[in-house]
Structures are given as structure tokens and as C-alpha cells.
Structure 1
Amino acid sequence: MDANTYSEIIIREIGQVLGQVNTTALEELATAVRAANRVFVAGAGRSGLMAKAFAMRLMHMGFTVYVVGETVTPSLAAGDLLLLASGSGETGSLVTMADKCKKLQAKLAVLTASPGSTIGRSADIVVQVPAVTKEAADIRSITAQPMGSLFEQSILLLMDAIIVRLMELQEKTSTTMFSRHANLE
């Protein structure tokens, strides 16, 4: 097969995953972002990179948002939202963050393929992303892609969909958001 054929397969796989996501959970997450005093995002590896992309767009919209682990990230508090991206819902560092979040009485949301996981069970909002993760025993029978690519691509698109929904709710446009775009590049 050529690269174009693989692109078509990938697009089809992503479409199948996105078509199964509960839209009520997405709307609940958008509502929680709007209601939060501040939004904190975290994920490990490539899932973390997708979460960072979401944080950037939230910043462009004027939300107060932080990426957990950065040197300028303040402490989490009640009234804040912590959004975790974890396919397995069992990543050790993220489980620790989820536990701390609950102790601090902040709201916890997760994008995960495993709603019954440790993080999924403790989250206030669970967006189940029914994509195979890198832990799957027979991954090649489910996706043409390596490891957690399907999950990571799907969460990026879901978070972009949340951004578009927030733009609609807050009457923002790309033009108004661009005023917050980095200008020291």
C-alpha cells in the first residue's frame, strides 16, 4: 500500500472512533471549562502533547489555563478543573494527580479509552474515547497505526471540537483569538 491509502485508513479509523463518543460528555466538559476558575491539563507522552495543544487554544480564547509540570504552573484549588488525557487511565503520575485533585476538591475530567480505570472511576466527567491504546494485546487487528496513535489523534480532534463549541458559546472568532497568539516567534 502507498501512503495515501494509509491516510484513508487512518481517517476511516478516526471517524469510527469519533462517531461513538458520547456528545453529552463533551458538552459537560465544555460547560466545566467555562465554569472553572482555572483549567489545568496533563497527560503523559503524546497524550500530554495533545493536552498542551488544547491548553494553547484555551489560552487563545482568554481562559486561565496551565499545563501541569511547567515551572509557571500554580497550585490547584477548589473551583479549578483538572483535565487528564490518559488512554489507560492508569498512568502512575496521572493517578497521583487525580488523587490530589479530589483531595483539593477541584473538578476532575478525563479523556480515556478506559472509563473503568482508576482515573475514570474517580473523575467527575469522563469522556470515553473508544480507541485502542498501546496496551492492547492484538493492536494490529484493530488499527493499522502504531501504539496509541488512534487514541491520541482522536483526543486532539475532540478537544478541537470543544474549542469550536466554546468559540460558539463565547462568540469568539479566529480573529479575536489571534490577538492572544504568540508574537515573540
Structure 2
Amino acid sequence: MNELNVIVKEMQGVIKKIREEEIERFYSELQNTTRIFVAGEGRSGFMAKAFAMRLMHLGYNVHVIGETVTPSVAKGNCLIAISGSGSTQSVIHQAERSKLAGSKVVCITANEDSSLAQVADTCFVLPAATKKRGENEAESIQPLSSLFDQCLHVFCDAVCLRSSTQGTVSHEEVLARHSNTE
């Protein structure tokens, strides 16, 4: 078995189920907010942080929930809440609190019927395997939510690519926002 080919094949199976319009719809969500916040736990949380980093490179005002320098969520903001299962209690709580503060809540999950999806104003469904192995999730031989997290990363990068090609952000501008402490 060639593990790389297995992973790519599983990802392709999920990605071909995501309509191109979803990328544009997510991109549009990012245009109508003053500040963006991201939230997630575990590997999905790492993917959320990677997304936040790239959004910052593209010039967005973005913050990661739980970091010590994160400001409070307020009206006019957008929280991107990520949970493959849609049942991660801390992410649901953050979504509920953000909504109470007047923020829009966008979720990315594999489960469109989840508690997180019910809280969200907008939901993007990645039908990839999670640790729950729900009936609407693609099958995977990979452990836990690996397939969901891999597809999440590619989905978010596709949104960033749309942002960079729709706007007038040059590679040089993005590079100028990249860490220079190396």
C-alpha cells in the first residue's frame, strides 16, 4: 500500500463533493465583517490556526479564540467555529457566546445536523470521516478525524486562494506580512 496515494484518493473523494460555489460563499462571508475569529480543538484547532495565519497574511483582521492577546468578540465580527463532529462542547460554547455578543457564527463540520450547526448562522459541510464515523461521512482507513482535518486545510486554503485572486493582494504584500523574525 502506498500511504500517500491512499490519503490523496480519500481526500479527492471528499473534495469532489464540495461545490465550487461553497468557496465563493465562504469568501463572501469574510468580506462582510470587521474582525474574524477562529475556534477549534485538537487537530481541527491547529487547522483553524493555520487558516487564521494565512488570513492575516492576506490582510484580514483575524484572531484565535483562547490566545492571551485575543480581544473580545463583538457585533459585526465573525466567528469561524470548527468541529468535525459538530459536538465539541468548548466550540459550541464559544459559538453561543459569540452569537450573544452579536457576532455572526460560521461553522465548518462534517455533521450538518450537529449542535454546532444549529447554533451557526452559516454552515459549511465537509463530508469527511471524523472520529465519530457518522453515516454521511466518507469512509477512511486513517485514524480518528485525519481525513476531515486534511480536507479542512485544503478547503480553507482554497478560500484563501480565492481571496488572493479576487482581491488585489500581491505575493509581495503577503510576504511583507509574513514573520520576519527568522
Range class of TM-score, shorter chain: over 0.9
CA distance in 1: counterparts of 2:116 and 2:21, whole angstroms: 19
- The TM-score, its normalising length taken from structure 2, stands at 0.94
Correspondence 1:143 to 2:168: no
Q: Which residue of 2 aligns with 1:130?
A: 127
In the TM superposition, 1:53-92 aligns within 5 A as 53-92=50-89
Q: Could you tell me which of 43, 46, 50 is aligned with 1:46?
A: 43
CA distance in 1: counterparts of 2:76 and 2:150, whole angstroms: 29
SS of 1:179's equivalent?
helix
SS of 2:107's equivalent?
strand
Per-residue CA deviation, residues 48-96 of structure 1 (Å, 9 max, x unaligned), is 0001001001111111100000010000001100001100111010110
Identity %: 38
> For the Cα contact (< 8 Å) 2:38–2:65, is it kept in 1?
yes
Q: Could you tell me which of 164, 175, 183 is aligned with 2:180?
A: 183
Listed as ranges, the gaps of 5+ residues in structure 1 are none
Listed as ranges, the gaps of 5+ residues in structure 2 are none
Aligned length: 180
RMSD over equivalenced CA pairs, Å:
1.5
The alpha-carbon deviation at position 124 of structure 1 amounts to: 1.4
In the TM superposition, 1:7-26 aligns within 5 A as 7-26=4-23
CA distance in 1: counterparts of 2:52 and 2:22, whole angstroms: 19
Q: Which residue of 2 aligns with 1:121?
A: 118
